[in-house]
Amino acid sequence: MKKFLSLAILASALGAGYVQAQTDIYIDGSTAFRTSTYNAVKALYGANLTAEAGCTNDANGNFFWNTNQNGNTEWIMTGQMTSLFASRTITVHATFTGSVQGIHSLYANTDTQNYLTNTAATPGSAAPSQAHTATMCLSDVDSSSTPYTLTGCTELHVAVQPFCWVKSVMCPNTFTNITSQQIQALLANGQVAMQILTGNTNDTFNVTVVNRSKDSGTRVTAFADALYFGGAQNYYWSTTNNNWYASNTALPGAPTLYGAGYVGGSDVANAIKYNGSAYSNNIAVAYLGASDANGVNGGANVLAYNGATPSTAIKPGNSWSKNNMVYDSTANGTYSYWAYECLDYPNTVSAAGQNINATDLALFGRTLAGYDSSYNFAPTAYSIDADIAATTSKTAVRLGDMHCSRQSVGSVITPN
């Protein structure tokens, strides 16, 4: 089954017989798939992984080494991938700045992000990094859904990412469903009277929509699927005033391309969790990936979206487990808030500082995304698909389990 968008003809002449002592690969993009990306890359090294390190950022945007590798904001691995590159040393540097930010890194190949430079550091110490161009990116959305449609690149569908609309813990129990039209009103105004969503004329208090920054694929998909094409007011939760406040100022450590709004889904989830009489103003709705949605009240605060949830096992008001979750509503086409996770890489490597040729990059990209040399979806044990299959905690849908498809983010869903 072919599940890829060929944006240009692959350059195959470059790098025939090309050999070098070390090759560096720089990955940018989606925060949602950083765990699966980490696991798949580590599987490619196997026993030949020489060293690795990772870091995360604090509230002020400073980066520090830690040992929680697969959830890190940045990581680095080095060693040999003998199944692909024999004895050559391969060093993979990864930074996860957001889907649209990752696409922009390839769109403007002079755009740089900070990547870790070495693995020798003490956990808790400041992490050394340097600015570098991206070799490839992962994105929750295809590039054509952003202002940066890629040309001269290959874009491969890796998996399907279901998203959820979620209410804050302090929202009324009677609020269980949200429609595209209600979302349009929320996004256009930032805050609306709760009665617009519940139909109860006594619910005169405001409900706030919580936005991610524009580099978020979750945001791109939320807007596109609800057919909303306008701008948005950004709100943040103040732990000082215990209230929502409007601001278009970026949080510390926000990506440089699109700063305003929350940077990650976990930041949003944490903001809408506040519970108790002191937090009576925390009446809000937000859009989250399945993992972060599950983290809010055990998943019980997921709303039905146009009458459906990503899985028939997910019911508003009931907690649910990610363990072996089957996202049947997503796979069967009865739930529409989802997008393809994509892997993008250039067909000719022209960005400054890159020391990998197009042939080797295509081989690495195909293997990670799960495609053979003819670009048929044929995942191996070294692919992101294999990691999704092996992971008990399910937050994505494998391509092979999808019984429907769509041409672009928010477009019509059709049976396979």
Tell me the per-residue pLDDT of 88-98, one tens digit each, with 9 for 90 and over: 999 999 998 88
Residue 397, beta-bridge partner list: 160
**Domain boundary, last residue among 317, 338, 359:** 338
* 95 and 116, same domain (yes or no): yes
pTM over 0.85: yes
**Domain boundary, last residue among 338, 371, 387:** 338
Nearest one of 314, 279, 90 to 168, comparing CA atoms: 279
What pLDDT does residue 55 have?
Answer: 82
* 179 and 258, same domain (yes or no): yes
Q: Are 300 and 67 in contact (CB under 8 A)?
A: no
* 251 and 347, same domain (yes or no): no
Domain holding 405: CATH number? 3.40.190.10
What pLDDT does residue 97 have?
Answer: 83
Q: Is 414 helix (H, G, I), strand (E, B) or coil?
A: strand
Give the whole-number percent of the chain exceeding pLDDT 90: 73
* 201 and 289, same domain (yes or no): yes
pLDDT single digits (tens) 224-265: 999 999 989 999 999 999 999 999 887 766 555 566 898 888
* 244 and 155, same domain (yes or no): no
DSSP state of 30: -
* 79 and 144, same domain (yes or no): yes
pLDDT single digits (tens) 333-356: 999 999 999 999 999 999 999 999
* 137 and 165, same domain (yes or no): no
Q: Is 230 helix (H, G, I), strand (E, B) or coil?
A: coil
* 168 and 249, same domain (yes or no): yes
Q: Are 244 and 168 in contact (CB under 8 A)?
A: no
- Joined together, the tokens standing for residue 191 give 């805050």
Structural domain containing residue 229: 161-338
* 333 and 347, same domain (yes or no): no
Q: How many domains does the chain have?
A: 2
Spatial neighbors of 246 by CB under 8 A, at least 6 apart, are 190, 233, 234, 235
99, 236, 411 from 407: Cα distances, Å: 18, 34, 6
**Domain boundary, last residue among 313, 338, 363:** 338
pLDDT single digits (tens) 124-153: 666 677 899 999 999 999 999 999 999 999
* 288 and 357, same domain (yes or no): no
